[in-house]
Amino acid sequence: MKIALLGYGKMGKIIEQIALDRKHEIVLKIDYTNLDELTVDNLTKADVAIEFSTPDSVLNNIRQCFEAKVPIIIGTTGWYGQLQQIKDECIKTNNALLYASNFSVGVNIFFHMNQILAKLMNRYPYYEVQVEEIHHVQKLDSPSGTAMTIAEGIIDNLDSKTEWVNVLQENGDEPIDAVKSNQLLIESLRIDSVPGTHTVIYDSEVDMIEFKHTAHNRSGFALGAVLAAEWIQNKKGFFTASDMFNFDVK
Ligand SMILES: NC(=O)C1=CN([C@@H]2O[C@H](COP(=O)(O)OP(=O)(O)OC[C@H]3O[C@@H](n4cnc5c(N)ncnc54)[C@H](OP(=O)(O)O)[C@@H]3O)[C@@H](O)[C@H]2O)C=CC1
Ligand SMILES: O=C(O)C1=N[C@H](C(=O)O)C[C@H](O)C1
Protein backbone atom coordinates (compact mmCIF):
# COMPACT_ATOMS: atom_id res chain seq x y z
CA MET A 1 0.00 0.00 0.00
CA LYS A 2 1.09 3.57 -0.66
CA ILE A 3 0.64 5.59 2.54
CA ALA A 4 0.46 9.35 3.19
CA LEU A 5 1.43 10.31 6.75
CA LEU A 6 -0.40 13.46 7.85
CA GLY A 7 1.53 14.38 10.99
CA TYR A 8 5.11 13.20 11.34
CA GLY A 9 5.75 13.59 15.04
CA LYS A 10 6.09 10.97 17.79
CA MET A 11 3.38 8.77 16.28
CA GLY A 12 4.01 9.45 12.58
CA LYS A 13 7.62 8.28 12.88
CA ILE A 14 6.72 4.97 14.62
CA ILE A 15 3.91 4.35 12.11
CA GLU A 16 6.39 4.86 9.27
CA GLN A 17 8.71 2.20 10.72
CA ILE A 18 5.92 -0.35 11.22
CA ALA A 19 4.46 0.36 7.77
CA LEU A 20 7.87 -0.19 6.13
CA ASP A 21 8.35 -3.43 8.12
CA ARG A 22 4.98 -4.58 6.71
CA LYS A 23 6.23 -3.80 3.16
CA HIS A 24 4.19 -0.66 2.62
CA GLU A 25 5.54 2.48 0.98
CA ILE A 26 5.40 6.02 2.39
CA VAL A 27 4.62 8.44 -0.47
CA LEU A 28 3.95 11.63 1.52
CA LYS A 29 4.98 12.92 4.97
CA ILE A 30 3.44 16.13 6.25
CA ASP A 31 4.41 18.12 9.32
CA TYR A 32 4.22 21.81 10.16
CA THR A 33 7.32 22.55 8.03
CA ASN A 34 5.92 21.38 4.65
CA LEU A 35 2.17 22.05 4.79
CA ASP A 36 2.34 23.37 1.20
CA GLU A 37 2.86 19.75 0.05
CA LEU A 38 -0.55 18.74 1.44
CA THR A 39 -2.37 19.05 -1.90
CA VAL A 40 -5.10 16.97 -3.49
CA ASP A 41 -2.63 16.08 -6.27
CA ASN A 42 -0.11 14.69 -3.78
CA LEU A 43 -2.78 12.87 -1.74
CA THR A 44 -4.13 11.04 -4.79
CA LYS A 45 -0.74 9.27 -5.06
CA ALA A 46 -1.64 7.39 -1.83
CA ASP A 47 -3.96 4.42 -1.27
CA VAL A 48 -4.61 5.62 2.29
CA ALA A 49 -3.75 8.51 4.61
CA ILE A 50 -2.87 8.03 8.28
CA GLU A 51 -3.55 11.17 10.31
CA PHE A 52 -1.82 11.79 13.67
CA SER A 53 -1.42 15.56 13.85
CA THR A 54 -3.04 18.14 16.13
CA PRO A 55 -6.63 18.99 17.13
CA ASP A 56 -6.31 22.27 15.16
CA SER A 57 -5.21 20.65 11.89
CA VAL A 58 -7.20 17.42 11.75
CA LEU A 59 -10.44 18.82 10.25
CA ASN A 60 -8.69 20.47 7.33
CA ASN A 61 -6.66 17.30 6.74
CA ILE A 62 -9.81 15.16 6.72
CA ARG A 63 -11.48 17.44 4.18
CA GLN A 64 -8.41 17.38 1.93
CA CYS A 65 -8.57 13.57 1.94
CA PHE A 66 -12.30 13.67 1.19
CA GLU A 67 -11.61 15.92 -1.79
CA ALA A 68 -8.84 13.60 -3.00
CA LYS A 69 -11.11 10.53 -2.40
CA VAL A 70 -8.36 8.92 -0.30
CA PRO A 71 -9.44 6.73 2.66
CA ILE A 72 -8.27 8.21 5.94
CA ILE A 73 -7.33 6.65 9.29
CA ILE A 74 -7.48 9.18 12.14
CA GLY A 75 -5.65 8.86 15.42
CA THR A 76 -5.69 12.54 16.36
CA THR A 77 -7.82 13.28 19.42
CA GLY A 78 -9.38 16.49 20.72
CA TRP A 79 -11.83 17.12 17.83
CA TYR A 80 -14.78 14.86 18.73
CA GLY A 81 -17.19 17.80 19.04
CA GLN A 82 -17.14 17.80 15.20
CA LEU A 83 -17.59 14.03 14.84
CA GLN A 84 -21.21 14.09 13.66
CA GLN A 85 -20.50 16.82 11.09
CA ILE A 86 -17.53 14.87 9.68
CA LYS A 87 -19.58 11.65 9.63
CA ASP A 88 -22.28 13.41 7.58
CA GLU A 89 -19.69 14.82 5.16
CA CYS A 90 -18.01 11.41 4.82
CA ILE A 91 -21.26 9.66 3.92
CA LYS A 92 -22.50 12.46 1.64
CA THR A 93 -19.24 12.44 -0.36
CA ASN A 94 -19.02 8.61 -0.41
CA ASN A 95 -15.63 8.51 1.27
CA ALA A 96 -13.99 6.14 3.77
CA LEU A 97 -12.86 7.17 7.25
CA LEU A 98 -11.90 5.18 10.35
CA TYR A 99 -11.14 6.97 13.61
CA ALA A 100 -10.21 5.63 17.02
CA SER A 101 -9.36 7.35 20.27
CA ASN A 102 -6.93 4.49 20.78
CA PHE A 103 -5.70 1.98 18.19
CA SER A 104 -4.01 -0.50 20.53
CA VAL A 105 -5.47 -4.00 20.77
CA GLY A 106 -5.10 -3.92 24.56
CA VAL A 107 -7.13 -0.75 24.98
CA ASN A 108 -9.85 -2.00 22.63
CA ILE A 109 -10.15 -5.16 24.75
CA PHE A 110 -10.25 -2.82 27.77
CA PHE A 111 -13.09 -0.77 26.17
CA HIS A 112 -15.10 -3.96 25.70
CA MET A 113 -14.53 -5.23 29.26
CA ASN A 114 -15.22 -1.76 30.71
CA GLN A 115 -18.77 -1.86 29.30
CA ILE A 116 -19.44 -5.32 30.73
CA LEU A 117 -18.08 -4.25 34.13
CA ALA A 118 -20.21 -1.08 34.16
CA LYS A 119 -23.37 -3.08 33.46
CA LEU A 120 -22.54 -5.49 36.27
CA MET A 121 -21.91 -2.63 38.73
CA ASN A 122 -25.56 -1.51 38.49
CA ARG A 123 -26.18 -4.27 41.05
CA TYR A 124 -23.74 -2.69 43.52
CA PRO A 125 -24.65 1.01 43.82
CA TYR A 126 -22.47 1.56 46.90
CA TYR A 127 -19.40 1.66 44.64
CA GLU A 128 -18.54 5.15 43.32
CA VAL A 129 -16.82 5.14 39.95
CA GLN A 130 -14.22 7.47 38.47
CA VAL A 131 -11.75 7.43 35.57
CA GLU A 132 -8.11 8.48 35.75
CA GLU A 133 -5.81 9.11 32.78
CA ILE A 134 -2.09 9.92 32.85
CA HIS A 135 -0.18 11.19 29.81
CA HIS A 136 3.07 12.95 28.93
CA VAL A 137 3.31 16.70 29.42
CA GLN A 138 3.27 17.52 25.66
CA LYS A 139 -0.32 16.29 25.31
CA LEU A 140 -2.51 19.13 23.97
CA ASP A 141 -5.99 17.80 24.86
CA SER A 142 -7.70 16.70 28.05
CA PRO A 143 -9.35 14.47 28.86
CA SER A 144 -7.63 11.99 26.57
CA GLY A 145 -9.77 10.59 23.75
CA THR A 146 -9.34 7.17 25.34
CA ALA A 147 -10.72 8.42 28.67
CA MET A 148 -13.71 9.89 26.81
CA THR A 149 -14.43 6.53 25.16
CA ILE A 150 -14.10 4.79 28.54
CA ALA A 151 -16.45 7.34 30.14
CA GLU A 152 -19.01 6.90 27.35
CA GLY A 153 -18.82 3.12 27.84
CA ILE A 154 -19.64 3.60 31.52
CA ILE A 155 -22.42 6.17 30.94
CA ASP A 156 -24.09 3.91 28.35
CA ASN A 157 -24.18 0.99 30.81
CA LEU A 158 -24.22 2.33 34.39
CA ASP A 159 -27.61 3.84 35.27
CA SER A 160 -26.30 6.28 37.92
CA LYS A 161 -24.08 8.27 35.50
CA THR A 162 -25.42 10.49 32.73
CA GLU A 163 -22.47 12.76 31.85
CA TRP A 164 -18.75 13.14 32.47
CA VAL A 165 -16.76 16.05 33.87
CA ASN A 166 -13.03 16.52 33.56
CA VAL A 167 -10.47 17.89 35.96
CA LEU A 168 -6.91 18.46 34.80
CA GLN A 169 -4.95 18.12 38.02
CA GLU A 170 -2.12 20.43 37.04
CA ASN A 171 -4.65 23.30 37.08
CA GLY A 172 -4.89 22.79 40.83
CA ASP A 173 -8.65 22.16 40.55
CA GLU A 174 -10.40 20.52 43.48
CA PRO A 175 -12.14 17.57 41.82
CA ILE A 176 -14.33 15.85 44.36
CA ASP A 177 -16.43 18.80 45.64
CA ALA A 178 -17.41 19.85 42.13
CA VAL A 179 -18.84 16.50 41.02
CA LYS A 180 -22.59 15.77 41.19
CA SER A 181 -23.88 12.23 41.78
CA ASN A 182 -24.96 11.81 38.11
CA GLN A 183 -21.55 12.99 36.88
CA LEU A 184 -18.60 10.74 36.16
CA LEU A 185 -15.29 12.33 37.09
CA ILE A 186 -12.38 11.98 34.66
CA GLU A 187 -9.21 13.02 36.39
CA SER A 188 -6.33 13.93 34.03
CA LEU A 189 -2.69 14.00 35.11
CA ARG A 190 0.32 15.08 33.02
CA ILE A 191 3.61 13.45 34.04
CA ASP A 192 6.93 13.55 32.13
CA SER A 193 6.96 11.00 29.28
CA VAL A 194 4.08 8.63 30.19
CA PRO A 195 2.74 7.14 26.87
CA GLY A 196 -0.79 6.57 28.26
CA THR A 197 -2.26 5.00 31.41
CA HIS A 198 -6.01 4.65 32.01
CA THR A 199 -7.71 3.37 35.17
CA VAL A 200 -11.36 2.84 36.01
CA ILE A 201 -11.84 2.90 39.79
CA TYR A 202 -14.88 1.58 41.65
CA ASP A 203 -14.46 2.55 45.30
CA SER A 204 -16.59 1.66 48.33
CA GLU A 205 -16.16 1.98 52.07
CA VAL A 206 -14.78 -1.55 52.31
CA ASP A 207 -12.72 -2.06 49.16
CA MET A 208 -11.66 -0.74 45.77
CA ILE A 209 -11.69 -2.31 42.31
CA GLU A 210 -9.11 -0.89 39.88
CA PHE A 211 -9.29 -1.80 36.19
CA LYS A 212 -6.16 -0.50 34.49
CA HIS A 213 -4.41 -0.35 31.11
CA THR A 214 -0.79 0.81 30.88
CA ALA A 215 0.88 1.43 27.52
CA HIS A 216 4.58 0.63 27.84
CA ASN A 217 5.37 2.54 24.62
CA ARG A 218 3.61 3.84 21.46
CA SER A 219 4.15 0.79 19.23
CA GLY A 220 0.73 -0.73 20.00
CA PHE A 221 -1.06 2.46 18.87
CA ALA A 222 1.04 2.59 15.69
CA LEU A 223 0.53 -1.05 14.73
CA GLY A 224 -3.25 -0.68 15.19
CA ALA A 225 -3.26 2.33 12.86
CA VAL A 226 -1.40 0.42 10.14
CA LEU A 227 -3.77 -2.56 10.56
CA ALA A 228 -6.68 -0.12 10.16
CA ALA A 229 -5.13 1.25 6.96
CA GLU A 230 -4.94 -2.30 5.59
CA TRP A 231 -8.51 -3.06 6.77
CA ILE A 232 -10.13 -0.01 5.11
CA GLN A 233 -8.93 -0.84 1.59
CA ASN A 234 -11.90 -1.20 -0.81
CA LYS A 235 -14.40 -0.01 1.84
CA LYS A 236 -16.63 3.09 1.88
CA GLY A 237 -18.21 4.57 4.97
CA PHE A 238 -17.59 5.95 8.44
CA PHE A 239 -15.95 3.46 10.81
CA THR A 240 -14.38 3.21 14.22
CA ALA A 241 -12.02 0.67 15.78
CA SER A 242 -14.83 -1.59 17.00
CA ASP A 243 -15.72 -2.23 13.32
CA MET A 244 -12.22 -3.63 12.83
CA PHE A 245 -11.77 -5.59 16.07
CA ASN A 246 -14.01 -8.55 16.81
CA PHE A 247 -14.25 -9.49 20.49
CA ASP A 248 -17.05 -12.01 20.16
CA VAL A 249 -15.85 -14.82 22.47
CA LYS A 250 -18.70 -17.26 21.83
N1 LIG B 1 -5.63 7.15 18.57
C2 LIG B 1 -4.47 6.71 19.09
O3 LIG B 1 -4.23 5.48 19.24
C4 LIG B 1 -3.43 7.71 19.46
C5 LIG B 1 -3.67 9.03 19.26
N6 LIG B 1 -2.70 9.96 19.48
C7 LIG B 1 -3.04 11.33 19.09
O8 LIG B 1 -2.34 11.61 17.89
C9 LIG B 1 -2.02 13.00 17.80
C10 LIG B 1 -0.53 13.16 17.51
O11 LIG B 1 0.21 12.63 18.57
P12 LIG B 1 1.83 12.71 18.57
O13 LIG B 1 2.39 12.11 17.35
O14 LIG B 1 2.22 12.20 19.90
O15 LIG B 1 2.04 14.32 18.52
P16 LIG B 1 3.31 15.13 18.02
O17 LIG B 1 3.15 16.50 18.59
O18 LIG B 1 4.56 14.39 18.32
O19 LIG B 1 3.13 15.18 16.43
C20 LIG B 1 2.19 16.00 15.79
C21 LIG B 1 2.65 16.18 14.37
O22 LIG B 1 1.68 16.92 13.65
C23 LIG B 1 2.38 17.87 12.86
N24 LIG B 1 1.49 18.91 12.38
C25 LIG B 1 1.28 20.16 12.88
N26 LIG B 1 0.36 20.79 12.11
C27 LIG B 1 0.03 19.94 11.11
C28 LIG B 1 -0.84 20.00 10.00
N29 LIG B 1 -1.57 21.11 9.74
N30 LIG B 1 -0.94 18.93 9.18
C31 LIG B 1 -0.22 17.82 9.42
N32 LIG B 1 0.62 17.70 10.45
C33 LIG B 1 0.75 18.75 11.28
C34 LIG B 1 3.50 18.32 13.74
O35 LIG B 1 4.49 19.00 12.98
P36 LIG B 1 5.69 19.80 13.71
O37 LIG B 1 6.45 18.78 14.50
O38 LIG B 1 6.48 20.35 12.56
O39 LIG B 1 5.03 20.84 14.58
C40 LIG B 1 3.97 16.97 14.24
O41 LIG B 1 4.76 16.35 13.27
C42 LIG B 1 -2.52 13.59 19.13
O43 LIG B 1 -3.80 14.15 18.92
C44 LIG B 1 -2.62 12.39 20.07
O45 LIG B 1 -3.59 12.56 21.07
C46 LIG B 1 -1.48 9.63 19.96
C47 LIG B 1 -1.19 8.32 20.23
C48 LIG B 1 -2.14 7.25 20.01
O1 LIG C 1 -1.60 11.97 23.10
C2 LIG C 1 -1.25 10.79 23.30
O3 LIG C 1 -0.07 10.48 23.50
C4 LIG C 1 -2.27 9.76 23.28
N5 LIG C 1 -3.47 10.09 22.88
C6 LIG C 1 -4.59 9.24 22.76
C7 LIG C 1 -5.71 9.70 23.65
O8 LIG C 1 -5.94 10.93 23.74
O9 LIG C 1 -6.39 8.88 24.24
C10 LIG C 1 -4.25 7.78 22.88
C11 LIG C 1 -3.11 7.44 23.78
O12 LIG C 1 -3.57 7.38 25.10
C13 LIG C 1 -1.93 8.36 23.64
Task: Indicate if 156 and 143 belong to the same structural domain.
Answer: yes
CB 219 within 8 A of CB 166: no
End-to-end CA distance of the chain: 34
206 class by beta-carbon count within 10 Å (0-12 exposed, 13-18 middle, 19+ buried): exposed
Task: Indicate if 210 and 109 belong to the same structural domain.
Answer: yes
Active site residue 23: no
Domain hosting residue 168, numbered range: 105-214
Please tell me whether 136 is known to bind a ligand.
yes
Number of domains in the chain: 2
Q: Which of 135, 161, 198, 213 is catalytic?
A: 135
Classify residue 250: in a domain, yes or no.
no
- In whole angstroms, give the CA distance from residue 49 to residue 72: 5
Task: Indicate if 44 and 84 belong to the same structural domain.
Answer: yes
102 lines ligand 1 (CB under 6 A): yes
Atom index in ligand 2 nearest the CA of residue 141 equals 8
Instruction: Indicate the DSSP class of residue 103.
Output: -
Tell the residue nearest (CA) to atom 10 of ligand 2: 102
Classify residue 249: in a domain, yes or no.
no
104 lines ligand 2 (CB under 6 A): no
pLDDT 10s digit of each residue in the chain, 250 long?
999 999 999 999 999 999 999 999 999 999 999 999 999 999 999 999 999 999 999 999 999 999 999 999 999 999 999 999 999 999 999 999 999 999 999 999 999 999 999 999 999 999 999 999 999 999 999 999 999 999 999 999 999 999 999 999 875 555 556 799 999 999 999 999 999 999 999 999 999 999 999 999 999 999 999 999 999 999 999 999 999 998 877 7
State if pTM tops 0.90: yes
